[in-house]
Amino acid sequence: MTDVESFRRELAEFLERELPARLGTLPPATGDYWGGRRPELPHPQSQRYCEAMAERGLTAPTWPREYGGGGLDKDQAKVLLAELRRLGLPLPLVGFGLSMIGPTLLQFGTEDQKREHLPKIVRGEIRWAQGYSEPNAGSDLASLQASARIDGDELVINGQKVWTSYGDKADWMFGIFRTDSGGKKQEGITFLLLDMAQPGVEVRPIKLISGASPFCETFFSDARAHTRNIIHGIGHGWTVAKALLGHERNMIGDVFGSGSGARNKVIAGNPLAELARDYLGEQGGRIADPLLRDWVAQVSMDERCFALTAQRNADALKAGQKPGPESSIFKIYGTELNQRRHELQLALRGPQCLGWEGPGFDDRELQQTRDWLRSRGNTIEGGTSEIQLNIIAKHVLGLPD
């Protein structure tokens, strides 16, 4: 392996001297840049920063160089993150290209497919969306009906997908479609890549009870994909889809504090306790309301336990143990814990948690109310808690069907 220290030095040189020299100001660590044909810029320099980093493959540090990646090993990648943190720089690029379809292509793609798609992901040229769920295929994903019919060297796609995250902002979609209705439902499913910028594809945002619209419905009427964008072959899409779902579940687990989140919450004082003090006052240095104080302690302790379990899991992986279906517990517990945290915050704020907009409520109150409403979906999206419990019962506990 290369000498980590020399790597750090040349990286620092690039980040501290060369980049500023070329770009002038660099974007701050806040605000994610998702790239794409119609990129949203959290900072005027976000795109140029991304491109400059991409030249060295630093948007996808561990991907092989031949596909535009940085070809770094784990230690070097850690150094990169450390340096970015040290210099207060953001990740140059985020998105489902890097987190979902990229790794999937590296695992299942042909040489041509990798060469065609990975470099564009690395450079942030294409923003990707996921086409999985359908109105009648939620927990029972394999019963999907959106169809792809072979027509020469193209596939003709009809049907509907739902819960497409940021579908209205995406350029290409990776998804699963039915190419054969006979036989077992898991068979006859094909994993496809398709360009969403075509007449046969229509995207409609879905408004949630929280008022936000992070998801979309996608309608296909004779949309077209090229057969060279079939991943892992006709009828073998289910294998690819399941592998990708694994990445997704772990990703969600991370978001809900199994990673940094919950751990930092604890280390950086206790915001719940601060909120309680603010709304309930204190007596003798303690939160004045003993029941809510106890509830704050309970949630804080559960978050600490959850973070410790995530650390134990990470330490076990470092020690060479394989990740198993136990990781389902992070999805279940992390999302439910987030919901409980929000319910607690409602209780702490009392009637001030009831605002939707306008006078009488401050911004944090209004935001928290919406976050609470949004959190109700956490235990549904990305595999419901019920499905996760089934997985644990079957694959971890070995209980019979």
Partner 1 sequence: MQLVLTEDQTLLSRTANELVAGSASVARLRKLRDTRDERGYALDRFARMAELGWTGIPFTEQDGGLGMGLAEVVLVTEAMGRGLAPEPYIPAIVLAGRAVALGGSAQHKGAWLGPAIAGEKVLALAHAGRRGRFDLTRVPIRATPAGGGFRLTGQATQVWGGHLADAYVVAARTAGQDGDRDGITLFLVPAQARGVTSERQHRIDSLNAAQLTLEAVEVGEADVLGRGGDGHGLLTRVVDEATVALTGEMLGGMSEAFDRTLGYLRERRQFGVAIGSFQALKHRAARLYIELELSRSAVMAAARALDAQSADASQLVSLAKARLSDAYCLIANEAIQLHGGIGMTDEHDIGFFVKRARVSEMTFGDAAYHRDRFAALGGY
Residue 371 partner contact from a copy of itself, partner 1, none using kind-dependent CB cut-offs of 5 to 8 Å: none
Residue 21 partner contact from a copy of itself, partner 1, none using kind-dependent CB cut-offs of 5 to 8 Å: none
Q: Of 248, 303, 336, 386, which is the active-site residue?
A: 248
Q: Which amino acid is at 307?
A: A
Do residues 173 and 130 make contact, with C-beta atoms less than 8 angstroms apart? yes
What is the DSSP code string of 70-135?
----HHHHHHHHHHHHHHTPPPS--SHIIIIIHHHHHHH--HHHHHHHHHHHHTT---EEEE--BT
Do residues 62 and 74 make contact, with C-beta atoms less than 8 angstroms apart? yes
User: Which CB atom, from 283 or from 321, has the smaller least distance to a copy of itself?
Assistant: 283
Cα-based distances in Å from 274 to 156, 265, 302, 339, 360: 57, 12, 18, 19, 21
User: Which CB atom, from 248 or from 289, has the smaller least distance to a copy of itself?
Assistant: 289
Cα-based distances in Å from 16 to 20, 52, 59, 87, 195: 7, 13, 17, 8, 38
User: What are residue 80's DSSP bridge partners?
Assistant: none
Report, in Å, the least distance between residue 281 CB and a copy of itself: 16
Residue 172 partner contact from a copy of itself, partner 1, none using kind-dependent CB cut-offs of 5 to 8 Å: none
Q: Residue 169 has what DSSP assignment?
A: G
Answer yes or no whether residue 401 interacts with a copy of itself by CB under 8 A. Answer: no
181-192 exposure pattern, b = at least 16 Cβ within 10 A, e = fewer: eeeebeebbbbb
Report, in Å, the least distance between residue 34 CB and partner 1: 23
Report, in Å, the least distance between residue 278 CB and a copy of itself: 21
Q: Which of 180, 294, 315, 362 binds a copy of itself (CB under 8 A)?
A: 294
Q: Which of 21, 268, 291, 319 binds a copy of itself (CB under 8 A)?
A: 291
Q: By CB under 8 A, what part of segment 217-256 binds a copy of itself?
A: none
18 catalytic residue (yes or no): no
Report, in Å, the least distance between residue 201 CB and partner 1: 21
Residue 183 partner contact from a copy of itself, partner 1, none using kind-dependent CB cut-offs of 5 to 8 Å: none
Q: Which residues are catalytic?
A: 248
- Which spans of this chain sit near a copy of itself (rule: CB under 8 A)? 290-291, 294
